[in-house]
Amino acid sequence: CGNASRCIADLLFAEKARNRITIETKGGRLVADKGGERLVTVDNGAPRFDWKDIPLSEPFADTRHIELQVGPIDRPLIHSPSVVNVGNPHCIFWVKDLEIVDLAKVGPMLEFHPLFPERANISLARVDARDHVSVRTWERGAGLTRACGTAACAVMAAGFRLRLIDATCRISLPGGDLLMERRAADGHILMTGPVAYDFEGELPAHLAV
């Protein structure tokens, strides 16, 4: 979870009195740097585009656009999404209207589509300018979400690959904006965003083990 990594990093910055933290995740190692007040940048690593790495259940030579659509065969509502793995699998439909389909209904169908053996996060992305994209996401296992950090990373990676956006871009999600960058030196995707303190609690001892 990209947003969770920023929140964890912010807590560790204070606890360890450091400005850089490395976080081990199932999807790989993330490096987080402290920015301004309550701003955190996370290096999400290099995206993977090979169909086996997504993973997909069948081969596609070009994952910039794959054969998948919603709606009538001759007039699909959304079609030809980009797919990418940024620590988890993402499927991105490029649209002009973020409300063109009911994502609450379409999202779960696509998440569990046989093409995605590990399921997938499903996003609708609208390019507003070369430095601005608006996104809505159905998050794998969570449903409609106000903000998905890895979806923003996936949109940045896929959009740059398609030459739709520049190497730095603002991604607007229902819950707020993230500043994204594709680093030229290694192709890593950097995500910068705010962190807000909500509450603090403790798990009962029998649950904390």
Q: Which residues are tagged catalytic?
A: 1, 148
Residue 77, Cβ density class (10 Å: 0-12 exposed, 13-18 middle, ≥19 buried): middle
Residues 6+ apart with CB under 8 A from 186: 46
Residue among 175, 75, 164 nearest 125 (CA): 164
Angle value at C-alpha 145, between 139 and 49, nearest 5 degrees: 35
Per-residue three-class SS string for 91-153:
EEEECCCCCCCCHHHHHHHHHCCCCCCCCCEEEEEEEEECCEEEEEEEECCCEEECCCHHHHH
Q: Which backbone phi and psi does 159 adopt, to 5 degrees?
A: -65, -40
For the chain, the distance separating the N- and C-terminal CA atoms, rounded to the nearest angstrom, is: 22
Q: Answer yes or no: are the C-beta atoms of 130 and 120 closer than 8 Å.
A: no
